[in-house]
Amino acid sequence: MLRIDFNRLRFLIVDDNTHMRRILRTLLHGFGAREVYEAEDGATGLEAFTHFAPDIIIADWAMPIFDGLELTQMIRQPGANANPYVPIIMLTGHSEKKRVTSARDAGITEFMAKPISAKALYQRVLNVVANPRPFIKTKTYFGPDRRRNASSNYVGPERRKGGKADTIKASTLIDKAKVAS
């Protein structure tokens, strides 16, 4: 298993629940993170994103002012922010397929259902650092490629339909995090 040097990464936790923010902060500090910023709602989260330029965002779905999906859509607007490519891990107590699909379609990078575990959090962070997905830009979507395993030979019913999609290779955090075997 790869090991991440967490002390080189900046995290932003956006959650209206004080206890959940504390749990996440404690886990991230336990992994070695030094810079962990917090916001209690989507609006404050957007301000913190602009001010602190985090490498990874962990956002709750249900929050006041605007929720995690709305926050993601605001961050993912190309040209509106310094880093629309920032990995966003969605945290929610609801893991129905409809919600996972909605999160994916909003531009979420990873999805994590509550209750969380240290192992699950570590795995999601490892995925966004060591296995970044390319970004896709179409007329209606900008965000991480929604396909986990892209096959150019695939012709089945789930094949992307519609217009041309531009693929953009997002910068990777692997060099910053100094991943070691």
Contacts of residue 158, defined as CB under 8 A and 6 or more positions apart, other chains included, come to none
The two structure tokens encoding residue 166 = 């531009």
- Output the tens digit of pLDDT for each of the chain's 181 residues: 567 789 999 999 999 999 999 999 999 999 999 999 999 999 999 999 999 999 999 999 999 888 999 999 999 987 777 889 999 999 998 888 898 888 888 899 999 999 999 999 999 999 999 888 888 888 888 888 866 555 556 565 555 555 556 666 666 665 555 555 4
Nearest-angstrom CA–CA distance, 6 and 87: 15
CA count, 13 A, side-chain hemisphere, 111: 23
pLDDT of residue 94: 85
pLDDT of residue 169: 65
What are the boundaries of each domain within the chain? 6-148+162-177
Q: pTM, whole model, 2 decimals?
A: 0.84
DSSP track, 111-140: EEESSP-HHHHHHHHHHHHHSPPPEEE-SS
Q: What share of the chain is helix, strand, coil (3-state, %, to 5)?
A: 35, 20, 45
Fill in the amino acid letter for 78.
P
Contacts of residue 54, defined as CB under 8 A and 6 or more positions apart, other chains included, come to 10, 11, 12, 35, 37, 48, 86
Three-state DSSP class for residue 42: helix
CATH superfamily to which 6-148+162-177 belongs: Response regulator (3.40.50.2300)
